[in-house]
Structure 1
Amino acid sequence: MIRRYNRGFLHSTPRTLILKALPCMSVHCFSSPEVSAADESQNLSWEKRRLTITPQIVHSTLLNCPSNLIALSFFLWCAKQPNYFHDVLAFDCMVNVLARLTKKYVTVRRIVGELENVGCVIKPQTFLLLLRIYWRGGLYGMVFETFEEMSTFGFTPNTFARNVIMDVLFKMGHVDAAIKFLKETQFRNFLTFNIALCNLCKLSDLSNMKDVSRRMFREGHYPNVKTLEIILNCFCKMGRLAEAYQVLCLMITLGISVSVNVWSILIDGFCRLRQPGMANCLFKKMLMTGCSPSVVIYTSLIKGFLDSQMVSTASSILNRMESDGYAPDLVLCNVLIDCLSKIGKYDDAFGIFVSLSERKLIPDSYTFCSLLSNICLSRRFSLLPKIASGVAVEVDLVVCNSLLNYFCKAGYPLHAVELYDYMLDRGFTPDKYSFVGLLGGLCGARRIDEAVNVYKGIIMYCPGVDAHVHTIIIDRLIRVGKYHRAIKLFRRALVEKYPLDVISYNVAIYGLLKSGKIREAFTLYSQMKEDGVLPNSWTYNLIISGFCKERDIKMVKQLMQEISEAGVELDHHTMNTVTKLLFNSHPYPSTLNQLIEMWNSGLIPDQAMYA
């Protein structure tokens, strides 16, 4: 240790070194009232001076430091000054400084050694600051190394250091290790649990979230408002509305004022799960508590009722909103255009677009996309020139993807292919919607070989694409009658374990049925359930219709039993097909008895019997 300090003093003291290197830093002197005028004219020693440090001065000094090592030593020196704390800007500046030092010296030990060489005294605070900088910069490997070096120097990591390590473990996906680290932390504090809960919410890890919450309450810590909102939002996104309601009750029990943001999260959660009635009840409760609604809440409610095709209720909510003095913004207008188009109210949706100029709202790319959706659904393609002239938007990826979709549905597949080439020339990075538009365009233009080659290139160079891309190529090939090729691609997707959903299976089953391969379709239906993908109403309607065409009454009854157990109702067309099959296969009294028996066992819904 003597050698270290002598070596530092041979060059200069830390204070002298820093001040020589930092000419831009202003120093203010303060004299004591007992000092005479003669004494004031003399040079005062450093012990009688006091530096006034401000964040602006520190940041300016860090930017003008002649070397990264001096910048780091100055940063550490400022942190040791009484009543001074670095702001976010200073830490952001130090992320780049420390990254360059790490690139030069490779290890934390060497960086610490260089700090000693310029006269810095290494203390626990030194490692804590290095840890925090690496943490902020996302240099997780160096975070672990800094943590280990603390112990090497004889310092015991405190709770803050352990909290940082736990957070990094969560962010790197090592959930079990992070939970273990939390449990092994001796002096857990509020921040310990808060970090864990926020990370678990991002990961939607419900089991660990509940365990950590219980542990937090047992140790006398309570989540703050922001954390409770994060938990609430997580439950709503997962569709766990009962748990979300419990969080609301907890907030009320703890005496926490329920903000408009909390009400908004809950109302939106119920609307997303197609329960607008419950959302409306919450809205009324919110009004009873004296909390004023926002345009965001009104937007969620209106969208929820429109998605449920309850147009009159949505209209009354919109009228109430306007009577309360809230004017619809562009987001709400875009939602109205989109939702009204989807439920077939094309003229009403177009009327909302026309009213934008009266409301002094400027249409954006989402307005244009919603209008394109309106045109595609209504098949009124002649409206496109009129809309294009009324919407002056910057061409971005969202607009291009909507145009790709429009060209495919309007019957202009070559236009879609040309637009995709234009997007690449303009430097756009295609996403899954772009790929879907391109594949649809190529298949629509009967450029099948090219479409298949493009698909293979996509899965090779963009391995993260979701089920939608795999489904679209199979669907488009089936539409143009290329059943064998479509099923071949689907089976390859199964072997390669690409992400496939219930729609993917349904499309493949439909292709097999269209090609007359009913047994293969049933085999795929069985494999689908084995793979953990639950059939939906479309699946059941497809497969039972196939066996009706084969006049396989035994399989039809077996499937009807499965449908009853799954609680799924068949559409009227399929039920009529089943009934017709039974009547054509058996004498009238026998068929009637079978239908009554199936109805009594719940295999046929009441409305089907009375249809």
Structure 2
Amino acid sequence: MALAIACGESSPSHLVLLGFVNRTLDSIKRNIAQIFANVFCSQTNNAVDARTCGNADLLPFKLEDFMTKFGEKYQLSAEDWFSENKNLNDKQDPHAVFNVLDVMLKDNLERLKMMRESISLANMNCQGWTFEANYLETAEIIKDLCLYGKLGTALWLRRKLMQKGVVFDVFTHNYLINGLCKTGDLDKADELIKEMSEQGPSPNCATYNTFINGYCLINNVDKVLDLFSTMANKGIKPNRVTCNILVHALCKKGHLEDAKKHLEEILDDDNDKTASDKIISSTILMDGYFKNGKMVQAKSVWDNVVQMDTQVDVVAYNVLINGFCSSQEIHLAFGYFCEMIKRGLLPDVFTYNTLISGLCKIGKFDEASYIHGIMSKIGIIPDQMSYKSLIQGLCINGVVVRANELLLGMLEKSMVPEPLIWNLIIDCYGRCGNLGKAFSTKNQMLIYGVKPNVYTYNALIYAQVKEGNITNAVSLKQEMHSYGLLPDVVTYNLLIGAACNSQNIEWALHLLDEMLMLGCEPDIITYTELIRGHCIKDNMKEAEELLRKMHNSGMPIDDVPYKILVKKYCKMRKPDKVFDLYYKWMERKRA
């Protein structure tokens, strides 16, 4: 009931309470009016005529009711009131009426005071509850806006409520900072942290962890180290997350020795860091060594972990196995795979995917297929990565039939492949000259609701160009627009190369103008194809002009354009041109 009053809602309970208060106040007025009427009006045993005393609404009952309640001994007539005889024949006390009046007034006023205080207290409590409920609801709204990427709206809502004196807690601010860091708006996140330091709430360790991780995403290690120092200056002690982020940032930037020193500090701090914290930091450093090709140092980190009798986990073994597979040390990878099982750790899908990818890189597709086959038997369902690694390896080596069987197996398991897997098979069929299978795979791709991309059409255009079907290749370029796709530099390079092969240099130049108009920058392959086209048409002046244009643009040039021109001048029996080009070629290589 009180909550309804505080919220200002016209609920039934609200009306009942207000009615009760009004009736109480009316009763007090009537009681006081009745008393004064009894004092100042002439009294008889009959009903009092209210009209002789004023408003009839003030006297809704008879004087007999009052006399019955308080007794006849307290009656006092008007004549007695103003009489000089104060003792009423020595039988009655004339102050008795005033005693009754005082008691009733005091009692009613006390009741009114208590009711007002109760209503006021309930109102204040309800307002506090309402404010707290609104605060929590608004904080949840800001968190949801941050999670859905509506950072502008979240910041606007925070600013509006801060103008009304509302200060959100540090957890709500951390959501805002996390969203800004994910979108790369680190300057805005920095401003928000400065506002927190000046106006409250004070940033905590999680605030700086989020901010540091934002700079790690853009590889700004200098800023990461600066923020790490700022935490210490502000008296905020870094936790395990901070240390792991810092080690990861240093490893990603290649500062492995600095990361190692930092890790040693973590390992020496036995009081604050648990065994799980140490294995995480060691795993990050080990992964950094592997990615930089330093297998000896990575193995040394692993040996230190084992010597400390630290409980290693599946993630640490996965990093170790992945590092050896990337270095094509498959026998070492399988050795640690067996050791992992002996320790009672069950390999996960990432472990098997790593082994499949490593075997495919060295061409051992039978072993990779065997591992892929036993995954389901031991209760580990192959995922998209499992199929992609094997299909990619098969397609690179031209084993397209086996790759297509794996794709059909995915469809049977209601696992729709991602576009990359479809494109690999389409490209492999195109390179093998099987255009029918390439286009049927593309149609099947559409049936399963997978939209083709630029790479899909480039694979089909390459297949058509390879077979000499230039008209069909141009039709595919036009078809791309129906899916909202724009040709890229690879598309134009394929078509320009086809035009030059057919000695249609005018069409090739038209395609060059078209790609420039669309904002697609030519690359070395574009100019090399045009140079070759001009040489076929004996347009040597135009060919050398294109080579000069490549030099002036600062584009990296390989040996192919020089070889094309030298070969053409040799056929034309112009040794001076050959030696001149050869001299420029050698000068550029020395430079």
Name the TM tier (shorter chain). Answer: 0.5 to 0.7
Deviation of 1:314 after TM superposition, in Å, equals 3.3
Q: How does 1:186-585 map to 2 (within 5 A)?
A: 186=163, 187=165, 188-191=167-170, 193-272=173-252, 275-276=253-254, 278-288=255-265, 290-291=268-269, 294-326=278-310, 329-384=313-368, 387=371, 392-398=378-384, 399-409=386-396, 411-432=398-419, 435-436=422-423, 439=426, 446=435, 447-457=437-447, 461=449, 470-475=454-459, 478=462, 481=466, 484=470, 489=476, 493=480, 497-498=484-485, 505=488, 507-512=490-495, 514-517=497-500, 519=509, 522-523=512-513, 526=516, 530=519, 539-540=523-524, 542-547=525-530, 549-550=532-533, 552-563=543-554, 574=560, 577=563
In the alignment, the residues of structure 2 paired with residue 245 and residue 582 of structure 1 have an alpha-carbon distance, to the nearest angstrom, of: 58
Identify the residue that residue 179 of structure 1 maps to in structure 2. 155
The two structures have a TM-score, normalised by structure 1, of 0.59
After TM superposition, the structure 1 stretch with the greater mean CA deviation from structure 2, 280-289 or 247-256, is 280-289
Query: Unaligned regions of 5+ residues in structure 1, if any?
Result: 10-120, 132-157
Cα separation, partners in 2 of 1:580 and 1:311, compared to 1, 3 Å? farther
The two structures have a TM-score, normalised by structure 2, of 0.60
Q: Name the % identity.
A: 16
Deviation of 1:213 after TM superposition, in Å, equals 2.6
8 Å contact 2:326–2:358 — kept in the other structure?
A: yes
Cα separation, partners in 2 of 1:224 and 1:404, compared to 1, 3 Å? same
In the alignment, the residues of structure 2 paired with residue 362 and residue 487 of structure 1 have an alpha-carbon distance, to the nearest angstrom, of: 53
8 Å contact 1:474–1:486 — kept in the other structure?
A: no
8 Å contact 2:181–2:214 — kept in the other structure?
A: yes
8 Å contact 1:340–1:346 — kept in the other structure?
A: yes
After superposition, give the CA deviation of every residue in 1:520-549 in whole Å (9 maximum; x if it has no partner).
Answer: 675576467x36x8x8xxx54x33543553
Cα separation, partners in 2 of 1:222 and 1:335, compared to 1, 3 Å? same
- 3-state SS in 1 of match to 2:347: coil
**2:395 partner amino acid:** C
**2:364 partner amino acid:** R
Cα separation, partners in 2 of 1:256 and 1:6, compared to 1, 3 Å? closer
Deviation of 1:242 after TM superposition, in Å, equals 3.4
Deviation of 1:271 after TM superposition, in Å, equals 3.8
Deviation of 1:284 after TM superposition, in Å, equals 0.9
In the alignment, the residues of structure 2 paired with residue 183 and residue 369 of structure 1 have an alpha-carbon distance, to the nearest angstrom, of: 48
In the alignment, the residues of structure 2 paired with residue 455 and residue 389 of structure 1 have an alpha-carbon distance, to the nearest angstrom, of: 25
- 3-state SS in 2 of match to 1:515: helix
8 Å contact 2:426–2:459 — kept in the other structure?
A: no
Query: May I ask how many residue pairs the two structures share in their alignment?
Result: 438
8 Å contact 1:241–1:269 — kept in the other structure?
A: yes
Cα separation, partners in 2 of 1:174 and 1:305, compared to 1, 3 Å? same
8 Å contact 1:474–1:507 — kept in the other structure?
A: yes
In the alignment, the residues of structure 1 paired with residue 460 and residue 317 of structure 2 have an alpha-carbon distance, to the nearest angstrom, of: 33
**2:442 partner amino acid:** V
Cα separation, partners in 2 of 1:346 and 1:440, compared to 1, 3 Å? farther
